[in-house]
Amino acid sequence: MSSTSPPGEPDSAAVRPLHESLDPASLPDLTESMRLVREAQAGSREALENLLRRYQERVLRIVRVRLSAKLRRHVESMDIVQETLRKAAENLGELELRSQAAILQWLARIAENQMLDVNRRMSAAKRDRMREVPLDDGSSRASSSGGPAAAQLPPDEIAEQRELSSLVDECVAALPDDYREVIALRTYCGGSWEWVTAQMGKDSSEAVRQLHRRASVKLARLLQERMRGG
């Protein structure tokens, strides 16, 4: 495949699946989300359920790329998502509503805590010599949820989008830790460069931008290999 990208930059065609599958336009409308947050914080159970349903698919993708290979053998991604949404419902008052990214970042932080909890429980179970039963990654069960926009598409397009999303998530999950994390925080969670810099404990936003560019190059190569059947 020929590339029109500058040296050191990812091939635009190869990175396109990442951006297409995480298009900000596919996220729920922020104005409506803000309304639901306000109503849910005021006590509306229906608003709460609608709010969490709107973000379930993106939270699932965040979990898929951040769930370690060790945990993936023993817990379903969707189980983490469901526990994340349950915790979010219990602690909605903690959400400081500033932007679309703020909602995703809050949910991603809860999901990370759930994964840490599962890891601690597994370690305790191992110490107690309890039998562990591997489960699949939950992708087949989770795929029925779909996002608000996906529900309006023809079935063949929905299937194609889910296949693309799954491929992208698998490639992101295979990246080295720092690469995976910078893409998760910046692209999946929609964080500002300043926020990502603080979360990763880096010295400067420019260092994080450089890291994100290197991660994108690596991801582009992985996607190219997978799409070519490599």
Question: How many angstroms separate the Cα of 90 from the Cα of each of 60, 77, 110, 183?
Answer: 19, 20, 11, 28
Structure-model confidence comparison of residues 25 and 170, the more confident one: 170
138 Rama class: left (phi>0) / alpha (psi -120 to 50) / beta: left
Structure-model confidence comparison of residues 35 and 69, the more confident one: 35
Tell me the domain boundaries of the chain. 27-154
Rounded-to-integer distance, Cα 53 and Cα 30, Å: 14
**Which residue's entry shows tokens 């297409």?**
20
Architecture of domain 27-154: Orthogonal Bundle (1.10)
Using the predicted structure, report yes or no on whether residue 40 has a pLDDT greater than 60: yes
For the ranges 5-19, 27-41, 151-165, the one whose mean pLDDT is highest? 27-41
| Mean of all residue pLDDT scores within the chain | 78
Residue 90: per-residue pLDDT: 92
Rounded-to-integer distance, Cα 88 and Cα 101, Å: 15
**Alpha carbon 57 to chain centroid, angstroms:** 8
